[in-house]
Structures are given as structure tokens and as C-alpha cells.
Amino acid sequence: MHKKTLREVSKFASGLIFADFFCGLWFYFGDLLPVKFLGINLNAQQVFIWLLVDVIIFTLLVRYAWGQKK
């Protein structure tokens, strides 16, 4: 793939990760925990790790998509 295509894919993926982050916030602050979701038991510690991983992935994708010099 060309770098321009990879940058566009990373922009799209960063939007998906951003939406996933807000789903995690909804679980964390919505008084829903602990909950069994799709057969997986989620507690506050697991959701915090989920949010942390989302922030790291989002940062890497944004850095690649918009931060690189052409």
C-alpha cells in the first residue's frame, strides 16, 4: 500500500478507537460494573486497562496519520 492510503486507513481506525474509548467510558462511569457482556465478565480494573490501551493505540494512529512530515 502507498503511504497516503495507509494514512487514510489510520485516520479511519483512529475514529473507531475513539468510539471504542467512549464505550469504555460509558461502562466505567455508568454504574454498570461488574457486568457480563458477550460472555465476558468485566470489572472496573479491566475497563481501566481497556481505556489505557485505547489511548495508546489512538495516540499511535493519530501520530502516524497527521503527525508525519510529507
Domain count for the chain, please give it: 1
**pLDDT computed for residue 69 by the predictor:** 66
Cα distance between residue 24 and residue 32, in whole Å: 11
Cell of 56: 495508546
User: Residue 28: which domain range?
Assistant: 3-66
> How far, CA to CA in Å, does 47 sit from each of 30, 52, 60, 69?
12, 9, 20, 35
| pLDDT for the residue 62 | 94
| 63 three-state secondary structure | helix
Identify the pLDDT of residue 59: 96
In the block, cell 494512529 appears at: 61
Residues of the chain with pLDDT below 70 are 68-70
